[in-house]
Structure 1
Amino acid sequence: MQSFKISPHIHLAASCGEFCQEFQVGEGDLLFASRRTQEHYLQGLGQGAIRVDYRDFGTGEPTDKMVEGIAAALAGQEYKRVIAIGGGTILDVAKLFALQQLLPIDRLFQQEIQPRKKCELVLVPTTCGTGSEMTNISILSLTSLSTKMGLDHDALYADHAVLIPELLQGLPDKAFGASAIDALIHAMESFTSPRATAFTQMFSLQAMDWIIRGFQDMAAQGKAAREKHLEKFLLASAYAGIAFGNAGCAAVHALSYPLGAAKHVPHGEANAVMLLPVYRLYQEKRYDGSLRELCQHLAMLLDCPETTVWSRLEELLSVILNWKKLSGYGVTEAELADFAAVVMTKQKRLMANNYVTLTRADVDRIYKELC
């Protein structure tokens, strides 16, 4: 029996000021926001809130050490609501602080501790990629296991997701490109997942349409053209989050996680590296069903035959973001076997959503072709 769920109440606000006023942000709130966000958008707002800048506790992708450092800094402080304004790192970390117990973090992520929610959670994205505001998933790099892992539980759903296009203004080109491509991959992987339904595919297709049309405009008129598409990119990220929150992501994410954890490659960029090799292998192994429907839809958007859809998509995406071979990130051939082992043993949750089964030999092949 199929099911479909949208949990958070979704709000679209014109500005951070409007959001803070409507939600009465302040005393009793634990507020996650970078200093840049605080300086540019929260001046004079949210007075009395306990403020956390995750960059005081680490850099790059979220890790277990970062969470442990924040928890230690907050020891003894009380709050009634968690509010996070930021990218995927901030949102994924903040979700954990709305739980009754988050430590030891490795036991939580290995499901030895049952997640239970203790307070209201409000998530406000500042990128258009992770869709984390719509999902019940938190992703961390667990340093003890040398990989990323996902915690998937309904206690991690936000009570409110607030979309504010203003927050995408001034996002660096690389960060914007990586996050938007991440959202596109969420839409694609959820569309071809065996758990996809008519409901999830509806959200996946609309997200793809908005993202690709925006990318085409940027390719034709320059990257500044994204400014007129900010609301659509933000909505596309949320739509893709709804889709993959129900249908799941798959091998693209599974293969990207060891790269991100070992070489600190930003999540969206690591996904971009894996996207086309995974989908070309899917097509080689079996070309029918939802994969063929995906190719037909992309061919329509890209105005090309089905037979050239992957090369045309690569051409478009390379205008938006530059990525490298694995060797360009410092990956050696000796590390590939370890990467593949991590995928097959630690990423079973994601690999179960592949369009077709990928074996260890398939994973080895993709990594070797990319090195």
Structure 2
Amino acid sequence: MTATIVSPRLMRIGGGSVAQIAEVLGLFGLSRPLVVTDPWMQSSGTVNRCLDPLRAAGLAPQVFSETVPDPTDTVIEAGVAAFRAGDYDCLIGFGGGSPMDTAKAIAILAAAAPGQKMRDFKVPVQADRGAVPVICIPTTAGTGSEATRFTVITDTETDEKMLIAGLGALPLAAIVDFELTYSVPPRTTADTGIDSLTHALEAYVSKRANPHADSLALSAMRLIGRHLRIAYHQPRNAAAREAMMLGAMQAGLAFSNSSVALVHGMSRPIGAHFHVPHGLSNAMLLPAVTEYGLNDALPRYAEAARAIGVATTEDADQVAGSKLLEELRALNQELGVPTPQGYGIEARTWEELLPLMARQALASGSPGNNPRVPDEAQIIALYRKVYA
């Protein structure tokens, strides 16, 4: 099998590295950025961690702060209008996954032909063109979007979370500064942390796994497995925050060069229809979906359990696999992950939407990468299993 490996051209990693944003732009001859962020980053002044070094270097960055959780096609269109209203040579996505995904999608749609919409770029289309380069600065340790060739945008007409993939979504550069995560609340730390663990695990067991992605996925699982609980309980623990940030980035590189699988395929419809944060919907699904595919990739799941730190080399694969399932359930319990019912989703509405959600999950293509590939009925059964 031939593997195609992609990554940002430059990644600046370390505490305080956000202060070097102007230098990074200068390496590529860029000087007219539009910073894409969210309203809280703007109102809290957090975005100034990015803006101040740019201004100190004599640049005049402008800000688009209309990003929303689970970014929508309408927000992307507003972002394209803001981009076209100025003279910008790059986009900077500053924030969690939503601002970074928004910046990527703005670049793709701004390069599109007149009349094209975001839905015209969803997989299996390859969105390989961006109007300008994108630089990503994550403020959470979770999505790995700073290192991936993906963006996820909701179609407001169909409530479909669309996976958009291609070189147009691949950042030119990333600045990965764990100090930006100190103020992240425990709920977000938990959700984004399990999100990154899911990225690494799915990349490792995917039918599209390859040696390069494997090494990154295993490293990410080692970091996340040992530090997620610490970061959750001790938000100012620098070593844990640094490890989680590095693990999230490695997990992003892993799935960008392998793939995600059934958890993500089933997670996107939950987010689209019920507005559950992406990492949280992944966490709701991860134990049950892992159990569903466990025996179809048992050696890989067992090795993942060893990397996470819940099994040893002396454990037989079946024992290690069982320990992995126990750990995923225990992690959800300790980090307060609710079921869909516990989150407040009404049973009748959940049941009515299951056929549509299952079809949307399959249409994303991600379930086809799973060790055990489900049909629509099996996905509906899994949705029912995780509900309560």
Cα distance, 1:83 vs structure 2: 1.3
Q: 1:242 to 1:27 in 2, by over 3 A?
A: closer
Which stretch of structure 1 is more off in the superposition, 322-331 or 272-281?
322-331
Residue pair 1:16, 1:42 contacting (<8 A) in 2 also: no
Residue pair 1:187, 1:244 contacting (<8 A) in 2 also: yes
Instruction: Tell me whether 1:324 sits opposite 2:339 in the alignment.
Output: yes
Q: Deviations over 1:186-229 (max 9, x none)?
A: 0000110011112211111110111111135458xx33364331
- Measured in 2, the distance between the counterparts of 1:214 and 1:5 equals 28
- Measured in 2, the distance between the counterparts of 1:163 and 1:42 equals 12
Match runs of 1:189-338 below 5 Å? 189-217=202-230, 222-224=233-235, 226-283=237-294, 286=296, 288-298=298-308, 299-300=310-311, 305-306=319-320, 307-326=322-341, 328-336=343-351, 338=353
Instruction: Tell me whether 1:3 sits opposite 2:19 in the alignment.
Output: no
The equivalent position to 1:137 in structure 2, one of 126, 147, 150, is 150
The equivalent position to 1:29 in structure 2, one of 18, 30, 33, is 33
Q: Per the alignment, in what secondary structure is the counterpart of residue 204 of structure 2? A: helix
Residue pair 2:206, 2:261 contacting (<8 A) in 1 also: yes
Aligned residue number for residue 117 of structure 1: 130
Residue pair 2:93, 2:100 contacting (<8 A) in 1 also: yes
Q: 1:143 to 1:211 in 2, by over 3 A?
A: same
Residue pair 1:180, 1:233 contacting (<8 A) in 2 also: yes
- Measured in 2, the distance between the counterparts of 1:199 and 1:112 equals 25
Give unmatched runs, 5+ long, in structure 2: none
Which stretch of structure 1 is more off in the superposition, 21-30 or 79-88?
21-30
Cα distance, 1:261 vs structure 2: 0.8
Q: 1:360 to 1:193 in 2, by over 3 A?
A: same
Instruction: Tell me whether 1:351 sits opposite 2:364 in the alignment.
Output: no
User: RMSD between aligned alpha carbons?
Assistant: 2.7
Match runs of 1:351-370 below 5 Å? 351-370=367-386
- Measured in 2, the distance between the counterparts of 1:165 and 1:107 equals 35
- Measured in 2, the distance between the counterparts of 1:292 and 1:308 equals 9
Cα distance, 1:280 vs structure 2: 1.1
Instruction: Tell me whether 1:157 sits opposite 2:170 in the alignment.
Output: yes
Instruction: Tell me whether 1:50 sits opposite 2:26 in the alignment.
Output: no
Residue pair 2:19, 2:50 contacting (<8 A) in 1 also: no
Q: Deviations over 1:125-145 (max 9, x none)?
A: 111110111111010111222
- Measured in 2, the distance between the counterparts of 1:98 and 1:218 equals 33
Aligned residue number for residue 102 of structure 2: 93
- Measured in 1, the distance between the counterparts of 2:162 and 2:25 equals 34
Q: Deviations over 1:281-324 (max 9, x none)?
A: 113x6363423433454432799953343123321343234322
Q: 1:81 to 1:348 in 2, by over 3 A?
A: closer
Q: Deviations over 1:45-71 (max 9, x none)?
A: 33311211134xxx3211112112222
Give unmatched runs, 5+ long, in structure 1: none
- Measured in 2, the distance between the counterparts of 1:302 and 1:309 equals 14
- Measured in 1, the distance between the counterparts of 2:70 and 2:219 equals 28
Cα distance, 1:256 vs structure 2: 1.1
Q: So what's the TM-score if we normalise by structure 1? A: 0.89
Aligned residue number for residue 18 of structure 1: 19
Residue pair 1:135, 1:242 contacting (<8 A) in 2 also: yes
Q: Per the alignment, in what secondary structure is the counterpart of residue 213 of structure 2? A: helix
Q: Deviations over 1:228-285 (max 9, x none)?
A: 31121111011101110011111111111111111111110010000001011113x6
Residue pair 2:7, 2:170 contacting (<8 A) in 1 also: yes
- Measured in 1, the distance between the counterparts of 2:266 and 2:291 equals 15
Residue pair 1:302, 1:309 contacting (<8 A) in 2 also: no
Q: Per the alignment, in what secondary structure is the counterpart of residue 365 of structure 2? A: helix
- Measured in 2, the distance between the counterparts of 1:114 and 1:7 equals 16
- Measured in 1, the distance between the counterparts of 2:49 and 2:165 equals 31
Q: 1:72 to 1:278 in 2, by over 3 A?
A: same
- Measured in 1, the distance between the counterparts of 2:331 and 2:125 equals 44
1:335 maps to amino acid: W
Q: 1:37 to 1:151 in 2, by over 3 A?
A: farther
Aligned residue number for residue 78 of structure 1: 87
Q: 1:302 to 1:256 in 2, by over 3 A?
A: farther
Q: 1:146 to 1:302 in 2, by over 3 A?
A: farther
